[in-house]
Structure 1
């Protein structure tokens, strides 16, 4: 992705145009006269609905004006009929890159205590994701469900670390894993769009988007629509090569810090065929094989109490 695409004005303008195009004059209560060359409202119509000058809105959409006030952004959001996720995305895009965001000191390392937490979930597939959808750690069942064709210790090696978005669009095994791939792909892009707006100064994230845009026509098509959605929970349908069909509910738990790390878990309704299949997958794992999927050397060791010394 080139620098122009990642500039605040260009991305903001792209988002505004995509939302203006989907709003018809009838939806906005505007009487339309004559044929329209493009779908949606005209810029001056949107500006009138928002109560701002057409000149200012045009400059905003063309990327020539940044740092719009919150009141102006809220007025535009109301005029466009944006939902909560889209409204948040609009405000993120209008901020200077990095405004109010601190770079995490160690963004690529999951905390050892968080890894131990998902290890304790022996009957629940679980993984720790970075903000770029990279797998920082997974427990044995999470690995068996989502990435059995990857080495279990791969999350501990940054060069070989699995990435759920990359797997979804570029890995044929993962594509076959999702019984409703189109639905999963749309959800993944909408979530990644939201994160990309929040962390516009993240070069690695921009590189990931650029790679997927170049290598996957499906990703490029979905990305161009500028979908935005927070994926906190829902259902995923799998066609697992070992245990067959699985209908699982997922939950995303965001860690209360500035790393962007999150825990993702998968569960089945008790007594269902999916529950039985998930139990079968768990029973197929080697007994006692629940070691860390990240190197122990990469985790912080407890500090020795002050004044203590090793006995010789």
Structure 2
């Protein structure tokens, strides 16, 4: 990459002048969804089984997923393609059968539960980095966690073809990949189905049906906003969009308390004048807590030790406690 200048675009880091072409193409499409996958892709070294994007060109077998239930929105045909993504972690695309995977908390258990939606620009899902890893952290802190594998937009079935098209998109060339402007209807339906499932099984999960939260990363943050805006009676009791769309939001009069975390050098912030998401929530008179970290880029997930965003999960847990969400079993 020596000799190249780079620019942060809506979907990643691309060489100039390709970045300018990419920005023009995506602006014309109204593209808004983003992905940690694409944000880091152009920075990863190429190798014999890894393309320019940093994603493996080989598909892998689906991992064992114990304590997983199929949601009623699931389609009949399973088209999933699993592969290695950022740092060799597992990711999936072409999801057609929405599921919830349960991570049971250690004792003493609280009565709260959180549904976790990984990111991936609605083209795929970072199941390991932004799903299972986060769920295990919450479970180790006494919170029931459920990772939502929601339906994604169709992409080429062949992994090599998919990576080639992704590389084209990163380079600003014509590509069959077209991330959506906002949460697709299928993903929204899966998010709401997940909320209904968790509340409907609150007794067997040992949780309070009135303490069910929803959090998501990047595109999962878009989905988190959407289940609030369009959820009606099914909307979550608390929400945490992490490095989400920071644009204005239609905030319901009874919107739940919200926790937001993002890094100051996240390219999503460059798309906005001010902080419209926060301003929307405040204008509606609803509770919001916001953390802006000095660095971290897009896609910091659980955050590395020693990074500016280190410990944000502890901040969220403290926020949950101050919101009265962490009462132990047996408490009212």
- TM-score of the superposition, structure 2-length normalised? 0.25
* Bigger RCO of structures 1 and 2 (CA < 8 A, at least 6 apart): 1
> Which has the greater radius of gyration?
1
Which structure has more strand as a fraction of its residues? 2
Which structure has more helix as a fraction of its residues? 1
